[in-house]
Structure 1
Amino acid sequence: MSFLGWLIIGALAGWLAGKIVVGYGYGFVGNIVIGILGACIGGLILPKLGIVPESTGANFVAATLGAVILLFLLGLLRQR
């Protein structure tokens, strides 16, 4: 997938993750950044679990999952 594709999928995933993990959002632009970082996290974690996303939809799910994980961890740090 191209870099632009990862940016678009990451942006959408960050927005969706901000809706899923209520209370830990960082605003529109912040959630886009979280989504792009989450796409990287999902792209690293899922293959280690034996799940290799091969389609655009699977990449979107991986990016969303990574963004949710990242928002959850950042929310835990924010509470301290």
Structure 2
Amino acid sequence: MGIISWIIIGALAGWIASMFTGNNKSMGAGANIVVGIIGGLIGGFLMGLLGGTGITGFNVWSLIVSIVGSVILLWIVNAVRRQKTE
């Protein structure tokens, strides 16, 4: 998968994950891309631990894995932010 594919999948996954977690208004396009790419790495790692396949190319499965990883990443980030403000 090329860098352009990573950026497209990352942008979509980050955007969808930010809508699930309620961060959509505070995140821009760049943050969505970064969250989506890191989420793809997290999701791929978790799928590997579970015995499945992670990111397999530019397809729907890769997008789903990236979304799951991105949601997990944003939940962790939100939890850390809440602890800092308390």
Q: TM-score, normalised by structure 2?
A: 0.81
After TM superposition, the runs of 4+ consecutive aligned structure 1 residues lying more than 6 A away are none
Paired residue secondary structure (1:52): coil
2:60 maps to 1:57:
yes
Q: Distance in 2 between matches of 1:10 and 1:43?
A: 13
Give the letter for the 2:75 counterpart.
F
Unaligned runs of 5+ in 2: none
User: Could you list the per-position Cα deviations for residues 3-54 of structure 1 after superposition, in whole angstroms to 9, with x for gaps in the alignment?
Assistant: 22122101110000000111x4441222221111111111111111112144
Larger radius of gyration: 2
Unaligned runs of 5+ in 1: none
Instruction: Assess if the C-alpha contact under 8 Å between 2:10 and 2:32 holds in 1.
Output: no
Corresponding residue number in structure 1 for 2:79: 76
Q: Distance in 2 between matches of 1:20 and 1:31?
A: 13
Corresponding residue number in structure 2 for 1:38: 39
**How many residues matched?**
79
Give the letter for the 1:65 counterpart.
V
Corresponding residue number in structure 2 for 1:6: 6
Name which of structure 1's ranges 52-61 and 64-73 shifts more when overlaid on structure 2: 52-61
Give the letter for the 1:70 counterpart.
L
